[in-house]
């Protein structure tokens, strides 16, 4: 889909591509159409962009660890043809466990739904597993690779006496968050998700950065690059604010009494 965008009073042609298959192929097709700057969203598309070009500027969005993925040499000085905006969701793994501990009864088993087909999935699962062990929580994990497995995975955790479910933040779980929330609620499970918007959509707790700010910042980087700045010299930005939302309607449906310690810390209560 091609359209005209505006960056600091400059008309630019935007070639918007929704990647549903192989990101390497999608990036190659865009480059074949003469792209002069790439703005990939997510780790998979960003890594694919770097694989395809070492010269065309890249402004990535929502990448977990751009250093580990080989996108930049460092956050202050990227040093290559890419810069952009990282997320901090892997670092919040312990916080999700803390929220589950406050929400659950003592000795309760906490569920963890994660995406096995995602390159960073196992890493984030291990971070959560370590945090649960340190907190003295029992963790019942269930890995899934495709949409068809969501319902059965959540039902199995319910049968294992899980009452609170941490949903791993990944591109797949974000895209399918509606089905995950519905299935969990139908099974009587309280959900903790890494996106504040998820609490407005029926999840019990949404805890994470507001990415609307990130998407609003991206055009400033594009503008600077179009005016001659090099990605190598533009520091990678990280989210500076984390939002915490609780859906009181969902709590009522689940028959949960939210602890006061959580209610007073929430940025917003969805009623």
108 by DSSP, 3-state: which? coil
DSSP for 198-257, written as a single string: HHHTT-SEEEEE-HHHHHHHHHHHHHHHHTT--GGGSPPB----EEEEEEHHHHHHHT--
Residue 146 to residue 257: CA distance in whole angstroms: 33
**Structure-block tokens of residue 35:** 């792209």
Tell me if 196 sits within 8 A of 207, measured CB to CB. yes
Q: Percentage of the chain with pLDDT > 90?
A: 68
**Structure-block tokens of residue 93:** 């793994």
Residue 77 to residue 231: CA distance in whole angstroms: 9
Domains of the chain, by residue range, sit at: 2-87+211-240, 90-193
Tell me if 194 sits within 8 A of 211, measured CB to CB. no
pLDDT along the chain (271 residues), means of 10: 45 56 83 90 88 94 87 96 92 95 89 89 91 93 95 95 94 93 97 96 95 86 95 94 96 96 96 91
Instruction: Reply yes or no on domain 90-193 having CATH 3.20.20.70.
Output: no
Per-residue DSSP letter, 68: T
Residue 15 to residue 85: CA distance in whole angstroms: 20
CATH architecture classification, 2-87+211-240: 3-Layer(aba) Sandwich (3.40)
Tell me if 217 sits within 8 A of 38, measured CB to CB. no
Q: 113-172 pLDDT, tens per residue? A: 999 988 788 889 999 999 999 999 999 999 999 999 999 999 999 999 999 999 999 888
pLDDT at res. 4: 37
Residue 248 to residue 198: CA distance in whole angstroms: 13
Do 2-87+211-240 and 90-193 agree at the fold level? Answer: yes
């Amino acid at each position: 889909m091609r359209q005209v965008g505006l960056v600091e009073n400059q008309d630019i042609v935007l070639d918007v591509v929704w990647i549903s298959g192989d990101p390497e192929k999608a990036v190659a097709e865009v480059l074949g159409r003469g792209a002069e700057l790439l703005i990939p969203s997510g780790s998979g598309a960003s890594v694919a962009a770097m694989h395809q070009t070492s010269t065309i500027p890249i402004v990535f969005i929502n990448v977990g660890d751009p250093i580990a993925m080989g996108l930049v040499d460092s956050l202050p000085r990227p040093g290559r043809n890419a810069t952009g905006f990282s997320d901090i969701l892997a670092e919040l793994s312990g916080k999700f466990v803390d929220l589950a501990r406050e929400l659950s009864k003592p000795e309760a088993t906490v569920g963890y739904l994660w995406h096995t087909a995602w390159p960073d999935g196992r890493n984030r699962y291990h971070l959560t597993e370590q945090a649960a062990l340190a907190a003295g929580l029992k963790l019942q994990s269930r890995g899934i690779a495709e949409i068809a497995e969501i319902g059965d995975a959540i039902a199995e955790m319910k049968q294992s006496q899980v009452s609170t479910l941490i949903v791993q933040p990944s591109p797949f779980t974000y895209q399918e968050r509606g089905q995950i929330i519905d299935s969990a609620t139908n099974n009587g499970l309280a959900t903790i998700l890494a996106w504040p918007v998820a609490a407005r959509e029926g999840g019990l707790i949404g805890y994470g950065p507001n990415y609307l700010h990130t998407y609003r910042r991206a055009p400033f980087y594009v503008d600077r690059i179009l005016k001659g700045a090099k990605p190598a010299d533009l520091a990678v930005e990280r989210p500076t604010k984390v939002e915490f939302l609780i859906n009181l309607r969902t709590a009522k449906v689940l028959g949960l009494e939210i602890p006061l310690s959580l209610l007073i810390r929430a940025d917003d209560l969805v009623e």
